[in-house]
Chain A
């Protein structure tokens, strides 16, 4: 992606703290820092991979962008008619036309489709909500959408239970496409699918991106899934993005120790790499009680005393390569050999 391409979405210092309530009066006794100051941008037509372990705040980031829950702090700028608008400042009414521009694909192909609606009703819902089509016109559009995602249009009167996981995911994709959005947040769209179906679904998403000129924020919990589909990749740990770079750059030349560990976990056919897998000591700390300083320090094999007290700054190290680590310059970390 050339840097000339305009930015479609920019997230600035996004924070989301969930209150922890306990006791009879449900007093707030603490908070979960699900997203703790995240900044990134996505250019038009680009795919940004967002990767991190379970619970690190990927879903919350995606949902804050769509205003599913109000963020604690931060800004979300979206390009609308050539101008950037902070969508967090819009009223519900002002937001509605913008909802046509951004959609979401869910991880769970079961929870994401209403079991009581036919495929026709599910896929046409966005069009009906925005009053864009009705009657025969609506049906024709649904038929077109189903064909676009590789489903048989004559099955539109069936209920979700008649479909396999992969097919259900396609129904969800058809629904997301219905309003011809520009941005789609794909929240682990293939994690719940069989490995053989995963590849098909990823290919479909890539084809659709070309066909409809889509921009993706593609969330995944390991680097192998986003490897081929992403232009750039952001690595998230405990509510923070710790590294962001062009995909090849990050895979070959990681700058953050956490990225290095994730990369070493990618299964390779080459047996040498298996032995080099870095196992992170300990568990992911709770986002309700994150470690001070660099949140990664209890599990980092390069940690220094400074890491325990001082929070590393989010900085641009090379061309388009961002990282948050005190020792980014001095360490030479191992990426992946593409030979």
Chain B
């Protein structure tokens, strides 16, 4: 009989460790001047340095160092006064020099932490994730193995190599082991990656697009019998590429390892690959025979020695911490937690904030951006802010608040702006969208409706208020939707003695 998650977590205590690789969004690569744009034709963003041609030498990208220091500061790390690059020697066809230039025992940032909050049975709970190190390295190229059944190098007929990605600056953020998460391990892991993503986005140092691989997560997990205080053998699940997958990978590994332990088998120290479709992991190479990377200090580079003045200047540029900002906005706008999360996940928090700054009501700003506009954006597979400007949305919301537009009319204005018919004011005048607020005209329509449905009117007079809906509907229809429904309701009820 196999254990499910709840049973697994009752018997075993998980210990987490997370390694996050972030592709920096510097204009040029880590050690050469090549462009870093995503999606270019293969091998068009290369040069002797990132192709590892004989004789070529690396030069460190200063912006990459700056970004790394910013990340370290935002994660409460100490910035090393002296750090170095090393060579990590191993063979792989998409790694041009057959060594990766990476920081090893002398990383640029050490000993930080990040607090993350999750919803627990006892309300919100904060976990402090300790950061061991933040270090710089270069990305490898990409291989495409053609032929064969597995898409892996073994069994392939041939392989295609694209070195555009080779040498793109990467920052690796490594946590210390995260103990005592208990059954919340999957949520803690997810919350950590999400919080980290928000910080990196706020720092503007990376695109942090998990689906494009600019933020990749490796999950280390081990189990020990509950209460034993031991540390079990860990597995390392590579390339978990969405927040949901982080959660699934952790819970999946807990169940898999628990069942192995339960049936008396040992956990093998190995690298596992996360399968996005099934949410399961499959074994990769075993790490029992540890690979010897023959690290040694990179002789082609000089040590990184940032002076305190530079670090202080960078510290001054740090933006408000995402968690603080979220709390601040939530209280300023009085928005429920769930809606804040929705805005963050939809990457629309900045947009909503800008709309509010232009005078729009926060609740309406949120509901327009996340509702109607996101719906159209999803249909067309574009980003919401590409459809319509913040200014236009703010104007429309303000017109609603002034009673100049109804929600229904506003939707037409949004349509018109998106269709390129001009500013909201222009769309309103071109389409003749105006709220009918003239009481006389409305009263005429109300009387017509009552005359057409005398029975309904009688029921309303008798106290059946919900029945008024049908009459209001008729009035709205008669005015072509340009009446303010609230106003119609008010006049109608008054007219019927309610």
* Chain B binds chain A: no
Which residues of A are in contact with B by a Cβ distance under 8 Å?
none
